[in-house]
Structure 1
Protein backbone atom coordinates (compact mmCIF):
# COMPACT_ATOMS: atom_id res chain seq x y z
CA UNK A 1 0.00 0.00 0.00
CA UNK A 2 2.79 2.41 0.97
CA UNK A 3 4.73 1.42 -2.15
CA UNK A 4 1.71 2.20 -4.36
CA UNK A 5 1.20 5.54 -2.61
CA UNK A 6 4.83 6.51 -3.11
CA UNK A 7 4.61 5.50 -6.76
CA UNK A 8 1.51 7.68 -7.28
CA UNK A 9 3.21 10.64 -5.57
CA UNK A 10 6.33 10.16 -7.69
CA UNK A 11 4.50 10.24 -11.02
CA UNK A 12 2.31 13.10 -9.82
CA UNK A 13 5.41 15.13 -8.97
CA UNK A 14 6.95 14.33 -12.38
CA UNK A 15 3.77 15.46 -14.16
CA UNK A 16 3.38 18.61 -12.03
CA UNK A 17 7.05 19.53 -12.46
CA UNK A 18 6.96 18.96 -16.23
CA UNK A 19 3.81 21.03 -16.75
CA UNK A 20 5.10 23.78 -14.46
CA UNK A 21 8.42 23.83 -16.32
CA UNK A 22 6.81 24.42 -19.70
CA UNK A 23 4.33 26.98 -18.35
CA UNK A 24 7.19 28.85 -16.67
CA UNK A 25 9.27 28.68 -19.86
CA UNK A 26 6.38 30.13 -21.87
CA UNK A 27 5.76 32.90 -19.34
CA UNK A 28 9.46 33.77 -19.24
CA UNK A 29 9.46 34.20 -23.01
CA UNK A 30 6.36 36.40 -22.84
CA UNK A 31 7.65 38.55 -19.99
CA UNK A 32 10.76 39.53 -21.96
CA UNK A 33 14.53 39.17 -22.21
CA UNK A 34 15.91 41.62 -19.67
CA UNK A 35 19.28 40.62 -18.29
CA UNK A 36 19.73 40.39 -14.53
CA UNK A 37 21.84 43.56 -14.52
CA UNK A 38 18.97 45.47 -16.19
CA UNK A 39 16.24 44.44 -13.76
CA UNK A 40 14.54 47.05 -11.61
CA UNK A 41 13.62 46.16 -8.04
CA UNK A 42 10.04 45.42 -9.15
CA UNK A 43 11.31 43.07 -11.89
CA UNK A 44 13.52 41.34 -9.34
CA UNK A 45 10.66 40.82 -6.88
CA UNK A 46 8.38 39.60 -9.69
CA UNK A 47 10.96 37.02 -10.75
CA UNK A 48 11.41 35.74 -7.20
CA UNK A 49 7.64 35.51 -6.64
CA UNK A 50 6.99 33.67 -9.90
CA UNK A 51 9.82 31.26 -9.11
CA UNK A 52 8.45 30.69 -5.61
CA UNK A 53 4.94 29.96 -6.90
CA UNK A 54 6.34 27.58 -9.52
CA UNK A 55 8.42 25.75 -6.91
CA UNK A 56 5.37 25.40 -4.68
CA UNK A 57 3.31 23.94 -7.54
CA UNK A 58 6.02 21.50 -8.59
CA UNK A 59 7.22 20.32 -5.18
CA UNK A 60 4.17 20.14 -2.89
CA UNK A 61 1.58 17.50 -3.69
CA UNK A 62 -0.85 18.91 -1.11
CA UNK A 63 -1.07 22.19 -3.07
CA UNK A 64 -3.92 22.28 -5.58
CA UNK A 65 -2.25 22.23 -9.00
CA UNK A 66 -4.85 24.29 -10.88
CA UNK A 67 -5.00 26.88 -8.10
CA UNK A 68 -1.23 27.27 -8.15
CA UNK A 69 -1.17 27.42 -11.95
CA UNK A 70 -3.88 30.09 -11.95
CA UNK A 71 -1.89 32.11 -9.41
CA UNK A 72 1.28 31.79 -11.51
CA UNK A 73 -0.40 32.89 -14.73
CA UNK A 74 -2.33 35.73 -13.06
CA UNK A 75 0.81 37.12 -11.41
CA UNK A 76 2.53 37.06 -14.82
CA UNK A 77 -0.47 38.83 -16.40
CA UNK A 78 -0.25 41.55 -13.75
CA UNK A 79 3.48 41.96 -14.47
CA UNK A 80 2.73 42.27 -18.21
CA UNK A 81 -0.02 44.81 -17.46
CA UNK A 82 2.31 46.92 -15.32
CA UNK A 83 4.97 46.77 -18.07
CA UNK A 84 2.41 47.88 -20.68
CA UNK A 85 1.22 50.77 -18.51
CA UNK A 86 4.84 51.79 -18.01
CA UNK A 87 5.37 51.85 -21.79
CA UNK A 88 2.35 54.07 -22.42
CA UNK A 89 2.58 56.39 -19.41
CA UNK A 90 5.85 58.14 -18.42
CA UNK A 91 4.46 59.13 -15.01
CA UNK A 92 3.43 55.53 -14.30
CA UNK A 93 6.87 54.36 -15.41
CA UNK A 94 8.48 56.65 -12.84
CA UNK A 95 6.09 55.31 -10.18
CA UNK A 96 6.75 51.64 -10.98
CA UNK A 97 10.44 51.70 -11.93
CA UNK A 98 11.74 54.83 -10.24
CA UNK A 99 13.92 57.41 -11.96
CA UNK A 100 17.64 58.20 -12.19
CA UNK A 101 19.19 60.05 -9.25
CA UNK A 102 22.14 62.39 -9.80
CA UNK A 103 24.69 61.57 -7.10
CA UNK A 104 27.53 63.75 -8.40
CA UNK A 105 26.84 66.89 -10.41
CA UNK A 106 29.59 68.95 -12.02
CA UNK A 107 32.14 67.28 -9.78
CA UNK A 108 30.24 67.94 -6.54
CA UNK A 109 28.74 65.20 -4.38
CA UNK A 110 25.07 65.78 -3.66
CA UNK A 111 24.41 64.82 -0.03
CA UNK A 112 20.63 64.97 -0.37
CA UNK A 113 20.72 62.60 -3.33
CA UNK A 114 22.82 60.13 -1.35
CA UNK A 115 20.30 60.28 1.51
CA UNK A 116 17.40 59.83 -0.91
CA UNK A 117 19.10 56.79 -2.44
CA UNK A 118 20.05 55.49 1.05
CA UNK A 119 23.73 55.38 0.13
CA UNK A 120 26.80 56.43 2.08
CA UNK A 121 30.16 57.58 0.76
CA UNK A 122 31.62 54.09 1.03
CA UNK A 123 28.77 52.74 -1.15
CA UNK A 124 29.39 55.47 -3.70
CA UNK A 125 33.14 54.79 -3.76
CA UNK A 126 32.51 51.08 -4.28
CA UNK A 127 30.11 51.72 -7.16
CA UNK A 128 32.60 54.06 -8.82
CA UNK A 129 35.41 51.52 -8.48
CA UNK A 130 33.23 48.91 -10.19
CA UNK A 131 33.11 51.31 -13.14
CA UNK A 132 36.91 51.63 -13.13
CA UNK A 133 36.98 55.02 -11.36
CA UNK A 134 39.15 55.13 -8.23
CA UNK A 135 38.99 58.86 -7.51
CA UNK A 136 35.84 60.97 -7.14
CA UNK A 137 37.91 63.88 -8.40
CA UNK A 138 37.78 62.34 -11.89
CA UNK A 139 33.97 62.35 -12.02
CA UNK A 140 31.88 65.10 -13.58
CA UNK A 141 28.52 63.31 -13.28
CA UNK A 142 27.49 60.10 -11.53
CA UNK A 143 23.89 58.95 -11.95
CA UNK A 144 22.21 56.10 -10.08
CA UNK A 145 19.99 54.28 -12.58
CA UNK A 146 16.68 52.55 -11.69
CA UNK A 147 18.38 49.14 -12.01
CA UNK A 148 20.88 50.05 -9.25
CA UNK A 149 23.84 50.62 -11.58
CA UNK A 150 25.82 53.86 -11.69
CA UNK A 151 26.46 55.67 -14.97
CA UNK A 152 29.53 57.91 -15.00
CA UNK A 153 30.64 60.85 -17.11
CA UNK A 154 34.25 61.68 -16.38
CA UNK A 155 35.68 65.16 -16.50
CA UNK A 156 36.99 66.13 -19.94
CA UNK A 157 40.66 65.80 -18.96
CA UNK A 158 40.08 62.26 -17.71
CA UNK A 159 38.10 60.94 -20.67
CA UNK A 160 39.87 58.50 -23.01
CA UNK A 161 41.24 59.85 -26.28
CA UNK A 162 39.35 58.70 -29.40
CA UNK A 163 40.49 58.31 -33.00
CA UNK A 164 38.43 61.39 -33.83
CA UNK A 165 40.37 63.43 -31.26
CA UNK A 166 43.63 62.38 -32.91
CA UNK A 167 42.22 62.84 -36.44
CA UNK A 168 43.03 59.22 -37.30
CA UNK A 169 41.21 58.04 -40.46
CA UNK A 170 38.67 55.35 -39.59
CA UNK A 171 37.45 53.00 -42.33
CA UNK A 172 33.70 52.52 -42.49
CA UNK A 173 32.41 49.15 -41.32
CA UNK A 174 30.97 47.09 -44.18
CA UNK A 175 29.57 44.23 -42.08
CA UNK A 176 28.56 43.50 -38.53
CA UNK A 177 30.97 40.73 -37.38
CA UNK A 178 28.89 37.54 -37.46
CA UNK A 179 29.41 33.80 -37.66
CA UNK A 180 28.66 32.41 -41.11
CA UNK A 181 29.94 28.85 -40.66
CA UNK A 182 29.48 26.78 -37.54
CA UNK A 183 30.65 23.17 -37.19
CA UNK A 184 30.99 22.69 -40.94
CA UNK A 185 27.59 24.15 -41.82
CA UNK A 186 26.69 27.53 -43.30
CA UNK A 187 24.55 29.71 -41.03
CA UNK A 188 22.02 30.71 -43.69
CA UNK A 189 20.06 33.05 -41.41
CA UNK A 190 23.13 35.25 -40.90
CA UNK A 191 23.91 35.24 -44.62
CA UNK A 192 20.43 36.57 -45.32
CA UNK A 193 20.85 39.26 -42.66
CA UNK A 194 24.17 40.32 -44.19
CA UNK A 195 22.92 40.02 -47.81
CA UNK A 196 25.75 37.63 -48.63
CA UNK A 197 25.47 34.59 -50.93
CA UNK A 198 26.83 31.10 -50.38
CA UNK A 199 28.80 31.50 -53.63
CA UNK A 200 30.60 34.50 -52.12
CA UNK A 201 31.44 32.47 -49.03
CA UNK A 202 32.82 29.63 -51.17
CA UNK A 203 34.97 32.11 -53.09
CA UNK A 204 36.35 33.57 -49.85
CA UNK A 205 37.15 30.09 -48.52
CA UNK A 206 39.11 29.26 -51.66
CA UNK A 207 41.29 32.31 -50.97
CA UNK A 208 42.17 30.56 -47.70
CA UNK A 209 42.95 27.35 -49.58
CA UNK A 210 39.75 25.65 -48.43
CA UNK A 211 37.69 23.77 -51.00
CA UNK A 212 34.72 22.68 -48.89
CA UNK A 213 32.59 24.20 -46.13
CA UNK A 214 32.82 20.86 -44.26
CA UNK A 215 36.54 21.55 -43.67
CA UNK A 216 35.68 24.63 -41.58
CA UNK A 217 34.88 24.37 -37.87
CA UNK A 218 34.09 28.07 -37.50
CA UNK A 219 34.13 31.11 -39.79
CA UNK A 220 33.27 34.69 -38.96
CA UNK A 221 32.90 37.63 -41.30
CA UNK A 222 34.78 40.71 -40.13
CA UNK A 223 33.61 44.30 -40.39
CA UNK A 224 35.88 44.93 -43.38
CA UNK A 225 34.50 41.92 -45.29
CA UNK A 226 37.40 39.56 -44.60
CA UNK A 227 36.95 36.14 -42.99
CA UNK A 228 38.30 34.67 -39.79
CA UNK A 229 38.50 30.92 -40.37
CA UNK A 230 39.21 28.08 -37.96
CA UNK A 231 39.51 24.62 -39.48
CA UNK A 232 38.60 21.30 -37.86
Structure 2
Protein backbone atom coordinates (compact mmCIF):
# COMPACT_ATOMS: atom_id res chain seq x y z
CA UNK A 1 0.00 0.00 0.00
CA UNK A 2 1.45 3.46 -0.92
CA UNK A 3 2.58 5.63 1.99
CA UNK A 4 0.20 8.46 1.09
CA UNK A 5 -2.79 6.12 1.34
CA UNK A 6 -1.54 4.82 4.70
CA UNK A 7 -1.31 8.42 5.98
CA UNK A 8 -4.87 9.10 4.78
CA UNK A 9 -6.14 5.94 6.48
CA UNK A 10 -4.33 6.69 9.77
CA UNK A 11 -5.42 10.34 9.73
CA UNK A 12 -9.08 9.46 9.18
CA UNK A 13 -8.87 6.91 11.97
CA UNK A 14 -7.31 9.46 14.36
CA UNK A 15 -9.88 12.08 13.37
CA UNK A 16 -12.76 9.70 14.03
CA UNK A 17 -11.34 8.69 17.42
CA UNK A 18 -10.80 12.32 18.48
CA UNK A 19 -14.31 13.27 17.37
CA UNK A 20 -15.92 10.46 19.36
CA UNK A 21 -13.84 11.12 22.48
CA UNK A 22 -14.47 14.88 22.35
CA UNK A 23 -18.21 14.26 22.07
CA UNK A 24 -18.02 12.08 25.16
CA UNK A 25 -15.94 14.60 27.13
CA UNK A 26 -18.58 17.24 26.46
CA UNK A 27 -18.97 20.78 25.12
CA UNK A 28 -16.48 22.24 27.59
CA UNK A 29 -13.73 20.98 25.29
CA UNK A 30 -14.78 23.42 22.58
CA UNK A 31 -15.62 26.37 24.84
CA UNK A 32 -13.38 28.45 27.09
CA UNK A 33 -10.77 26.00 28.40
CA UNK A 34 -9.41 25.57 31.89
CA UNK A 35 -5.69 24.90 32.43
CA UNK A 36 -6.22 21.15 32.53
CA UNK A 37 -8.44 21.13 29.44
CA UNK A 38 -5.94 23.31 27.57
CA UNK A 39 -3.10 20.83 28.25
CA UNK A 40 -5.38 17.91 27.38
CA UNK A 41 -6.40 19.44 24.05
CA UNK A 42 -2.81 20.12 23.02
CA UNK A 43 -1.70 16.58 23.93
CA UNK A 44 -4.57 14.85 22.15
CA UNK A 45 -3.91 16.93 19.03
CA UNK A 46 -0.19 16.13 19.18
CA UNK A 47 -0.88 12.40 19.57
CA UNK A 48 -3.35 12.44 16.69
CA UNK A 49 -0.79 14.13 14.42
CA UNK A 50 1.90 11.69 15.54
CA UNK A 51 -0.04 8.50 14.80
CA UNK A 52 -1.23 9.96 11.48
CA UNK A 53 2.20 10.67 9.97
CA UNK A 54 4.74 8.52 11.83
CA UNK A 55 4.66 5.46 9.59
CA UNK A 56 7.41 3.75 11.57
CA UNK A 57 5.49 4.01 14.82
CA UNK A 58 3.00 1.34 15.80
CA UNK A 59 -0.52 2.62 15.17
CA UNK A 60 -2.00 0.69 18.08
CA UNK A 61 0.42 2.29 20.54
CA UNK A 62 -0.65 5.75 19.43
CA UNK A 63 -4.34 4.87 19.77
CA UNK A 64 -3.61 3.37 23.20
CA UNK A 65 -1.94 6.64 24.28
CA UNK A 66 -4.96 8.64 23.10
CA UNK A 67 -7.30 6.45 25.13
CA UNK A 68 -5.09 6.85 28.22
CA UNK A 69 -5.27 10.64 27.82
CA UNK A 70 -9.02 10.28 27.38
CA UNK A 71 -9.82 8.06 30.35
CA UNK A 72 -7.74 10.01 32.88
CA UNK A 73 -9.61 13.34 32.39
CA UNK A 74 -12.90 11.46 31.91
CA UNK A 75 -12.53 9.91 35.39
CA UNK A 76 -11.25 13.17 36.85
CA UNK A 77 -14.37 14.96 35.60
CA UNK A 78 -16.51 12.69 37.77
CA UNK A 79 -14.17 13.16 40.72
CA UNK A 80 -14.22 16.95 40.34
CA UNK A 81 -18.02 16.97 40.35
CA UNK A 82 -17.87 15.69 43.95
CA UNK A 83 -14.70 17.41 45.21
CA UNK A 84 -14.31 21.17 45.43
CA UNK A 85 -10.60 20.79 46.31
CA UNK A 86 -9.96 18.82 43.10
CA UNK A 87 -11.77 21.45 41.04
CA UNK A 88 -9.59 24.18 42.52
CA UNK A 89 -6.48 22.06 41.99
CA UNK A 90 -7.06 21.30 38.31
CA UNK A 91 -9.16 24.27 37.19
CA UNK A 92 -8.15 26.97 39.66
CA UNK A 93 -10.71 29.45 40.98
CA UNK A 94 -11.92 32.93 40.20
CA UNK A 95 -10.00 35.86 41.67
CA UNK A 96 -11.30 39.35 42.39
CA UNK A 97 -9.15 41.89 40.52
CA UNK A 98 -11.34 44.97 41.11
CA UNK A 99 -13.52 45.98 44.03
CA UNK A 100 -15.60 49.15 44.43
CA UNK A 101 -13.87 50.82 41.51
CA UNK A 102 -10.35 50.07 42.76
CA UNK A 103 -7.86 47.72 41.11
CA UNK A 104 -6.39 45.06 43.42
CA UNK A 105 -2.81 45.11 42.15
CA UNK A 106 -1.65 42.08 44.15
CA UNK A 107 -4.39 39.88 42.70
CA UNK A 108 -3.66 41.30 39.27
CA UNK A 109 -0.04 40.17 39.58
CA UNK A 110 -1.12 36.70 40.72
CA UNK A 111 -3.16 36.40 37.52
CA UNK A 112 -0.18 37.63 35.43
CA UNK A 113 -2.44 40.37 34.10
CA UNK A 114 -1.09 43.78 33.10
CA UNK A 115 -2.98 47.05 33.43
CA UNK A 116 -3.34 47.24 29.64
CA UNK A 117 -4.80 43.73 29.50
CA UNK A 118 -7.25 44.56 32.29
CA UNK A 119 -8.40 47.68 30.45
CA UNK A 120 -8.74 45.68 27.24
CA UNK A 121 -10.92 43.08 28.98
CA UNK A 122 -13.06 45.83 30.51
CA UNK A 123 -13.54 47.48 27.13
CA UNK A 124 -14.68 44.10 25.85
CA UNK A 125 -17.47 44.35 28.42
CA UNK A 126 -18.31 47.92 27.30
CA UNK A 127 -16.77 49.37 30.48
CA UNK A 128 -14.50 52.38 29.90
CA UNK A 129 -14.51 53.95 33.36
CA UNK A 130 -12.89 52.10 36.27
CA UNK A 131 -15.06 53.99 38.75
CA UNK A 132 -18.18 52.33 37.31
CA UNK A 133 -17.06 48.84 38.40
CA UNK A 134 -18.38 47.27 41.62
CA UNK A 135 -16.62 43.92 41.17
CA UNK A 136 -14.45 42.37 38.46
CA UNK A 137 -13.48 38.70 38.75
CA UNK A 138 -10.99 36.81 36.59
CA UNK A 139 -12.64 33.43 35.96
CA UNK A 140 -10.81 30.12 35.57
CA UNK A 141 -11.39 30.31 31.80
CA UNK A 142 -9.50 33.62 31.52
CA UNK A 143 -12.76 35.53 31.02
CA UNK A 144 -13.33 38.70 33.05
CA UNK A 145 -16.76 38.92 34.73
CA UNK A 146 -17.81 42.48 35.56
CA UNK A 147 -20.55 43.77 37.87
CA UNK A 148 -21.29 47.47 37.44
CA UNK A 149 -22.32 49.71 40.30
CA UNK A 150 -26.08 49.86 40.78
CA UNK A 151 -26.43 53.39 39.43
CA UNK A 152 -24.43 52.46 36.31
CA UNK A 153 -26.43 49.36 35.39
CA UNK A 154 -28.86 49.59 32.45
CA UNK A 155 -32.52 50.12 33.28
CA UNK A 156 -34.66 46.99 33.27
CA UNK A 157 -38.46 46.69 32.90
CA UNK A 158 -38.72 45.94 36.64
CA UNK A 159 -36.85 49.18 37.47
CA UNK A 160 -39.47 51.10 35.50
CA UNK A 161 -42.41 49.19 36.96
CA UNK A 162 -43.18 47.52 33.64
CA UNK A 163 -44.52 44.01 33.36
CA UNK A 164 -42.08 41.54 31.90
CA UNK A 165 -43.22 39.50 28.94
CA UNK A 166 -42.00 35.96 28.44
CA UNK A 167 -41.45 35.52 24.73
CA UNK A 168 -41.96 32.17 23.04
CA UNK A 169 -39.27 30.98 20.64
CA UNK A 170 -40.14 31.73 17.00
CA UNK A 171 -40.42 28.74 14.70
CA UNK A 172 -38.49 28.64 11.42
CA UNK A 173 -41.09 27.47 8.93
CA UNK A 174 -39.26 28.16 5.63
CA UNK A 175 -35.65 27.34 4.76
CA UNK A 176 -34.24 27.78 1.25
CA UNK A 177 -37.71 28.16 -0.25
CA UNK A 178 -39.04 24.93 1.31
CA UNK A 179 -41.78 24.67 3.91
CA UNK A 180 -40.72 23.00 7.18
CA UNK A 181 -43.76 20.97 8.19
CA UNK A 182 -42.69 19.99 11.71
CA UNK A 183 -42.11 23.54 13.08
CA UNK A 184 -45.32 24.66 11.37
CA UNK A 185 -47.28 21.89 13.08
CA UNK A 186 -45.65 22.75 16.41
CA UNK A 187 -47.43 26.12 16.47
CA UNK A 188 -50.67 24.62 15.12
CA UNK A 189 -50.55 26.11 11.62
CA UNK A 190 -50.88 24.59 8.16
CA UNK A 191 -49.05 25.05 4.84
CA UNK A 192 -52.23 26.63 3.52
CA UNK A 193 -52.08 29.35 6.19
CA UNK A 194 -48.44 29.99 5.29
CA UNK A 195 -49.21 30.31 1.59
CA UNK A 196 -52.00 32.77 2.40
CA UNK A 197 -49.64 34.91 4.51
CA UNK A 198 -47.08 34.94 1.70
CA UNK A 199 -49.74 36.06 -0.76
CA UNK A 200 -50.70 38.93 1.58
CA UNK A 201 -47.18 40.37 1.38
CA UNK A 202 -46.77 39.54 -2.31
CA UNK A 203 -43.90 37.07 -1.95
CA UNK A 204 -43.47 33.69 -3.66
CA UNK A 205 -42.29 30.70 -1.65
CA UNK A 206 -39.26 30.00 -3.85
CA UNK A 207 -37.93 33.53 -3.18
CA UNK A 208 -37.88 33.06 0.61
CA UNK A 209 -34.48 32.22 2.11
CA UNK A 210 -35.74 32.09 5.71
CA UNK A 211 -39.21 32.46 7.19
CA UNK A 212 -40.15 32.57 10.88
CA UNK A 213 -43.47 32.72 12.71
CA UNK A 214 -43.58 34.20 16.22
CA UNK A 215 -45.94 33.49 19.10
CA UNK A 216 -48.43 36.04 17.70
CA UNK A 217 -48.57 34.23 14.35
CA UNK A 218 -46.70 37.01 12.58
CA UNK A 219 -44.62 35.92 9.59
CA UNK A 220 -41.11 37.36 9.12
CA UNK A 221 -39.32 36.56 5.86
CA UNK A 222 -35.82 37.08 4.49
CA UNK A 223 -35.69 36.94 0.70
CA UNK A 224 -33.06 35.75 -1.74
CA UNK A 225 -33.65 39.00 -3.63
CA UNK A 226 -32.46 41.63 -1.14
CA UNK A 227 -33.67 44.45 -3.37
CA UNK A 228 -37.30 43.58 -2.70
CA UNK A 229 -38.88 45.36 0.24
CA UNK A 230 -41.18 43.30 2.46
CA UNK A 231 -43.74 45.09 4.65
CA UNK A 232 -43.23 44.67 8.38
CA UNK A 233 -45.72 42.36 10.15
CA UNK A 234 -48.73 44.30 11.41
CA UNK A 235 -50.58 41.61 13.37
CA UNK A 236 -49.86 43.00 16.84
CA UNK A 237 -50.43 46.61 15.77
CA UNK A 238 -53.79 45.71 14.18
CA UNK A 239 -54.87 43.79 17.28
CA UNK A 240 -54.00 46.73 19.54
CA UNK A 241 -55.84 49.14 17.24
CA UNK A 242 -58.92 46.88 17.20
CA UNK A 243 -58.97 46.66 20.99
CA UNK A 244 -58.70 50.46 21.33
CA UNK A 245 -61.48 50.98 18.80
CA UNK A 246 -63.72 48.53 20.66
CA UNK A 247 -63.06 50.32 23.95
CA UNK A 248 -63.86 53.67 22.34
CA UNK A 249 -67.10 52.24 20.90
CA UNK A 250 -68.13 51.06 24.39
CA UNK A 251 -67.62 54.58 25.73
CA UNK A 252 -69.67 55.99 22.84
CA UNK A 253 -72.50 53.50 23.50
CA UNK A 254 -72.48 54.48 27.19
CA UNK A 255 -72.95 58.14 26.25
CA UNK A 256 -75.59 57.48 23.59
CA UNK A 257 -77.88 55.06 25.50
CA UNK A 258 -80.79 56.25 27.63
CA UNK A 259 -81.01 53.06 29.67
CA UNK A 260 -79.25 53.35 33.06
CA UNK A 261 -78.59 49.60 33.13
CA UNK A 262 -77.13 49.58 29.63
CA UNK A 263 -75.05 52.68 30.42
CA UNK A 264 -73.59 51.00 33.54
CA UNK A 265 -72.84 47.82 31.55
CA UNK A 266 -71.07 49.72 28.76
CA UNK A 267 -69.01 51.76 31.23
CA UNK A 268 -68.07 48.67 33.24
CA UNK A 269 -66.95 46.79 30.14
CA UNK A 270 -65.10 49.83 28.83
CA UNK A 271 -63.07 50.07 32.05
CA UNK A 272 -62.36 46.32 32.01
CA UNK A 273 -61.25 46.45 28.38
CA UNK A 274 -59.05 49.49 29.06
CA UNK A 275 -57.31 47.56 31.87
CA UNK A 276 -56.81 44.63 29.50
CA UNK A 277 -55.26 46.93 26.88
CA UNK A 278 -52.85 48.37 29.47
CA UNK A 279 -51.71 44.87 30.45
CA UNK A 280 -51.23 43.82 26.82
CA UNK A 281 -49.37 46.93 25.66
CA UNK A 282 -45.88 45.59 26.59
CA UNK A 283 -46.49 42.62 24.30
CA UNK A 284 -48.29 44.36 21.47
CA UNK A 285 -46.03 47.42 21.17
CA UNK A 286 -42.71 45.49 20.79
Same structural fold, with TM-score higher than 0.5 when normalized by the shorter chain: yes
Deviation at 1:27, TM superposition (A): 1.4
For the residue of structure 1 that corresponds to 2:5, the secondary structure is helix
**How does the TM-score come out when normalised to structure 1?**
0.83
**Equivalent in 100, 111, 129 of residue 105 of structure 2:** 111
Question: Which residue among 206, 209, 214 is the counterpart of 1:222?
Answer: 214
Structure 1 counterpart of 2:187, from 184, 190, 196: 196
Is 2:22 the counterpart of 1:31?
Answer: no
1:179 is aligned to 2:172: yes
Which runs of 5 or more residues in structure 1 are unaligned?
Answer: 1-6
Instruction: Indicate if the aligned counterparts of 1:37 and 1:147 stay in contact, CA closer than 8 A.
Output: no
Find the aligned partners of 1:159 and 1:22 in 2 and give their Cα distance.
Answer: 47
Higher relative contact order (CA 8 A, sep 6+): 1
* Match of residue 206, structure 1, among 196, 208, 211: 196
Residue 38 of structure 2: aligned partner: 44
Q: Which residue is 1:87 aligned to?
A: 81
Please name the residue that 2:54 is paired with.
60
Q: Which residue of 1 aligns with 2:146?
A: 152
Q: Give the Cα–Cα distance (whole angstroms) in 2 for the partners of residues 98 and 43 of structure 1.
A: 12
TM-superposed CA distance for 1:153, in Å, is 0.7
Q: Look up the match of 1:131.
A: 125
TM-score when scaled to structure 2? 0.69
**In 2, are the aligned partners of 1:180 and 1:190 still within 8 Å (CA)?**
yes
The equivalent residue for 1:120 is 114
**Which whole-Å CA distance do the structure 2 matches of 1:103 and 1:189 have between them?**
49
Indicate the RMSD between aligned Cα atoms, in angstroms: 2.6
User: Which sections of structure 2, spanning at least 5 residues, go unmatched?
Assistant: 225-286
Alpha-carbon separation, structure 1, partners of 2:150 and 2:29: 31
Q: Deviations over 1:55-74 (max 9, x none)?
A: 01111211211000111122
